[in-house]
Structure formats: structure tokens, C-alpha cells
């Protein structure tokens, strides 16, 4: 579930770790690592390295250590929670690994195990990986945004969900952005006028920035880097509000499938 606003919030929370050396890595789920093509021995190479910076692209979060880069995609239920002290207590379930710094530990857990881990030992392989991810929705400029969508014939909701077109937007924010921009999720992306593309771009930026300000959306499992729930769900206008009155026109919000994903929209306001 974590999309761009949630991952950006976690990145901000974890920035306190920058400059700290990694003392130890505790591995709780060896099979999780192996599914991601990483051995415990390879991961242990991070021990003793200093965390130089954190970066994000789309829904991916990267830890830049002295000689390696560790990447996370949180999938549906992954979480990264910062704690004071050493190893997390047994009450934490679905633990994958713990990164133990000088006086803080960072626990990665994943209940449904759809998240992914990446380990890069050189800048070139890391840049090649980034190249396959579409431009970040928060960073993309208007000309690039227009160019990315103009030639796409599939529905605009599908284009938003395609992380190779624009990265960072998932089901929640696609529904909220399209409703606020007044665009039907089934509209072909390439059919949008210059005016509609401009409005969609501005709305996308506004929604994402507000969601970051409110620390993301907690629907079920998401918590930020300090284990707290987000608050943007209180601002949702259509997401999962099927059958409820549209906040603009009063007609019922409808539910359809787009790109295999349940989609909420108002057929009156999003013609």
C-alpha cells in the first residue's frame, strides 16, 4: 500500500540516521532475503559502513552506505520503524531484519511478504536500476509529464498505475487526483487536452504535497518511520467511498475495475 507520500514520510523520519555507522544486521527471515536474491553473507557486508544519505524514487527507498546501497520496496504491508536501543522486542511480528546503529535500530517487517529488497555494490548497477523506473511524480516537470501521457492510449488510471510511465502513484492517489481534476479514470491518457493535462499535473502535485504534509494515508497497516498512523485518509473524497454521496454533486460514488484495480469515481463529476 505505501505510495509516494508514505515512503517520503518514512524517508524524512529516518533522516536522523544519516552519518551513523551500521553496527550490526540481525536477520530474522533468511528465506525473505533469498527470494530477493540476497544472501545473509552479502547483506552482512553493510556492517561497519556509515549511512551517507537516503534517497527515494517513486515507491522505492534507498539507503546509501559507504560502499553499498540497500533498497526497499514496501509492497502492500512492509514497514520500517525506528526504535531507540538494540534489537526489537518479540511483540513485533513478521520481522525480516533489523539494522542496528549506534543507539537506534531500524526494524523492517512485512506481514504479507510482497515487499522487495535490493543490494547494489556499485553506482552503475544502481543507476541502471533507476533508469527502468519512470520519472518521480513529485519531481517531474510539466513538459515531461505531458510528453509521458500524450502517446498513451490506455485509460489515464492505468497510466498512473504504470510505474514506468510516472512513478509513485498507486490506487489511493490515482483515484483522489483524478476526482479532484474532474477526469474520468477510463479516459484515454492520450485524449486529454493541453488544458486537462495542465490541471491534472497541478492537481497531482497538490494532492501529493498535502498527503506528505499529513504524513500519508493509513487504511489498514501503514505506519510512518516512528510507528504512527498517517492522517491523509481524513481528506479522501472518493477512495473506497462506493455508494456514498459525491462531496461535490451528491450523486453516489461508483465502483469499477480499471487495470484490475478497484476504482472509485463520480460519473457525474468525472465525465
pLDDT in tens, 208-218: 999 999 999 99
pLDDT at 85: 73
Identify the architecture of domain 4-131 in CATH. Alpha-Beta Barrel (3.20)
pLDDT at 54: 98
Percent of the chain topping pLDDT 90: 95
pLDDT at 1: 80
pLDDT at 93: 82
Rg of the chain over all Cα atoms, to the nearest angstrom: 20
Tell me the pLDDT tens digit for each residue of 17-57: 999 999 999 999 999 999 999 999 999 999 999 999 999 99
CA diameter of the chain: 59
CATH of 142-265, one of 3.30.413.10, 3.40.50.20, 3.30.70.20, 1.10.8.50: 1.10.8.50
- Cell, residue 31: 528465506
- The segment(s) of the chain belonging to CATH 3.20.190.10 are 4-131
Closest of 104, 171, 163, 97 to residue 131, by C-alpha: 163
Burial 175-211 (b: 16+ CB within 10 A, else e): bbbbbbbebbbbbebeebeeebbebbbebbbebbeeb
pLDDT at 242: 96
What are residue 47's phi and psi, to 5 degrees?
Answer: -60, 135
Using alpha carbons, list the distances in angstroms from residue 7 to 169, 208, 213, 251.
11, 11, 12, 34
Put simply, whether the predicted model's pTM sits higher than 0.75 gets the answer yes
H helix runs in the chain, sequence order = 4-14, 30-35, 40-44, 123-131, 142-150, 156-161, 171-181, 194-213
Mean per-residue pLDDT for 191-195?
Answer: 97
Mean per-residue pLDDT for 71-95?
Answer: 85
State yes or no: pLDDT of 205 exceeds 90.
Answer: yes
State yes or no: pLDDT of 86 exceeds 80.
Answer: no
> Residue 271, SS3?
coil
Mean per-residue pLDDT for 195-204?
Answer: 98
Q: Running DSSP on this structure, what letter comes out for residue 234?
A: G
**pLDDT tier at 74, thresholds 50, 70, 90:** very high
Q: Across the chain, what does the average pLDDT equal? A: 96
pLDDT at 88: 61
Closest of 264, 210, 261 to residue 76, by C-alpha: 261
State yes or no: pLDDT of 89 exceeds 90.
Answer: no
Active site residues: 2-3, 59, 261
- Cell, residue 82: 525506528
Cβ partners under 8 Å of residue 266, min gap 6: 179, 238, 246, 248, 249, 251, 253, 254
pLDDT at 165: 98
Amino acid at each position: 500500500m505505501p505510495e509516494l507520500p508514505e515512503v517520503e514520510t518514512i524517508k524524512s523520519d529516518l533522516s536522523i540516521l544519516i552519518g551513523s555507522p551500521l553496527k550490526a544486521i540481525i536477520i530474522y527471515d533468511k528465506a525473505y532475503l533469498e527470494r530477493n536474491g540476497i544472501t545473509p553473507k552479502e547483506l552482512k557486508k553493510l556492517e561497519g559502513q556509515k549511512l551517507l544519505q537516503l534517497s527515494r524514487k517513486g515507491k522505492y527507498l534507498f539507503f546509501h552506505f559507504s560502499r553499498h546501497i540497500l533498497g526497499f520496496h514496501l509492497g502492500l504491508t512492509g514497514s520500517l520503524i525506528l526504535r531507540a536501543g538494540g534489537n526489537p522486542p518479540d511483540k513485533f511480528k513478521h520481522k525480516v531484519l533489523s539494522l542496528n546503529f549506534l543507539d537506534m535500530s531500524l526494524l523492517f517487517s512485512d506481514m504479507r511478504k510482497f515487499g522487495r529488497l535490493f543490494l547494489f555494490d556499485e553506482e552503475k548497477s544502481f543507476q541502471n536500476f533507476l533508469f527502468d523506473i519512470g520519472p518521480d511524480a513529485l519531481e517531474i516537470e510539466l513538459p515531461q509529464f505531458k510528453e509521458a501521457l500524450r502517446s498513451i492510449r490506455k485509460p489515464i488510471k492505468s497510466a498512473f498505475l504504470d510505474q514506468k510511465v510516472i512513478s509513485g502513484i498507486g490506487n489511493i492517489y490515482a483515484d483522489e487526483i483524478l476526482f479532484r481534476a474532474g477526469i474520468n479514470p477510463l479516459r484515454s491518457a492520450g485524449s486529454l487536452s493541453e488544458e486537462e493535462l495542465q490541471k491534472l499535473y497541478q492537481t497531482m502535485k497538490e494532492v501529493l504535497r498535502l498527503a506528505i504534509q499529513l504524513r500519508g494515508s493509513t487504511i489498514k497497516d501503514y505506519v510512518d518511520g516512528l510507528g504512527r498512523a498517517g492522517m491523509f485518509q481524513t481528506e479522501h473524497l472518493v477512495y473506497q467511498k462506493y455508494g456514498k454521496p459525491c462531496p461535490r454533486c451528491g450523486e453516489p460514488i461508483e465502483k469499477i475495475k480499471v487495470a484490475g484495480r478497484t476504482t472509485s469515481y463520480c460519473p457525474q463529476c468525472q465525465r
